[in-house]
């Protein structure tokens, strides 16, 4: 019996040793798909051979982008063909407005065999909030609603639920019917204000909104509740105490 145990143990050791000693072939790489905070993303931009891709729409790109970025719209039918022409041997860095589209783009790059892909967490919203440099801005400063206009919307005896959203934001789209139904059901005490993130960039920066969707609840002009991210109608009512 002891002899059998010794033999079995020796065989197991041999198998494990064989697996561990199997050398990695030269040139083998593990695909990297990394989300980086804006500070780390900015530092990584100085690496040799970096290919920087802005995956927003051309309109968004023209309103301000990172220096050296090329614009391949993630939602364009040509997107896959465009990114396929990038050099797979060099790192690719992608960003969008808040990180959603660039995260999906990073996944697509990984599927296409790119070995180093970096996605900027929070996108341009985080980048702008950190007051980092942009170039190519053609949109005038002060675009969208000013803070005085915003405060005027809060002057009511009802609760005011502010929904920061965007037309391309999928969680925003999923929540929109629920929000409309909620306001309709509570029309006697609740008012809904929708703020488009693309059209009110200065306001969002001033309010410290760095990702969407974001919800704020006001009473008598004072902020009493805030939530970032998608949530169910039941959770919204429960947490906000509406």
Which residue reads 């996108």 in tokens? Answer: 123
169 included as an active-site residue: yes
> Using only C-alpha atoms, what is the Rg of the chain?
25
| pLDDT tens, position by position, 35-69 | 999 999 999 999 999 999 999 998 888 888 999 99
172 included as an active-site residue: yes
Delimit the CATH 3.40.30.10 region(s) of the chain.
147-240
- DSSP assignment letter at 48: T
The catalytic position among 11, 19, 96, 172 is 172
Digit-by-digit pLDDT tens for the chain (242 residues) are: 444 444 444 444 443 333 333 333 434 444 467 999 999 999 999 999 999 999 999 888 888 899 999 999 999 999 999 999 999 999 999 999 889 899 999 999 999 999 999 999 999 988 988 888 988 764 444 468 888 889 989 988 999 999 999 988 889 999 999 999 998 899 899 999 999 998 898 899 888 888 899 999 999 999 999 999 999 999 999 999 98
pTM: 0.61
CATH code of domain 32-129: 3.40.250.10
Query: Residue 71: enclosing H or E segment and its boundaries?
Result: strand 70-71
Tokens of 45: 């931009």
Delimit the CATH 3.40.250.10 region(s) of the chain.
32-129
Greatest pairwise CA separation for the chain in angstroms: 87
CA 234 distance to own-chain centroid: 25
Distance of alpha carbon 5 from alpha carbon 114, whole angstroms = 47
Homologous superfamily of 147-240: Glutaredoxin (3.40.30.10)
């Amino acid at each position: 019996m002891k002899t059998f145990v010794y033999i079995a143990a020796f065989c197991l050791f041999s198998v494990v040793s064989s697996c561990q000693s199997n050398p990695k072939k030269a040139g083998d790489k593990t695909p990297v798909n990394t989300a980086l905070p804006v500070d780390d993303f900015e530092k990584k931009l100085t690496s040799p051979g970096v290919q920087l891709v802005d995956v927003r729409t051309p309109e968004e790109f023209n309103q301000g982008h990172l220096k050296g970025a090329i614009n391949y719209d993630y939602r364009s039918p040509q997107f896959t063909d465009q990114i396929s022409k990038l050099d797979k041997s060099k790192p690719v860095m992608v960003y969008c407005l808040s990180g959603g589209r660039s995260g999906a783009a990073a996944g697509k790059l990984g599927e296409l065999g790119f070995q180093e892909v970096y996605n900027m967490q929070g996108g341009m919203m985080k980048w702008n909030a950190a007051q980092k440099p942009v170039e190519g801005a053609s949109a005038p400063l002060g675009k969208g609603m000013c803070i005085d206009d915003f405060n005027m919307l809060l002057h009511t005896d009802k609760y005011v639920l502010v929904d920061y959203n965007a037309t391309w934001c999928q969680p925003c789209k999923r929540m929109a019917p629920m929000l409309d139904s909620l306001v309709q059901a509570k029309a006697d005490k609740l008012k809904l204000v929708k703020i488009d993130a693309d059209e009110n960039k200065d306001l969002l920066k001033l309010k410290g909104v760095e990702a969407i969707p974001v919800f704020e609840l006001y009473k008598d002009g004072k902020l009493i509740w805030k939530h970032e991210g998608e949530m169910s109608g039941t959770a919204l009512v429960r947490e906000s105490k509406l």
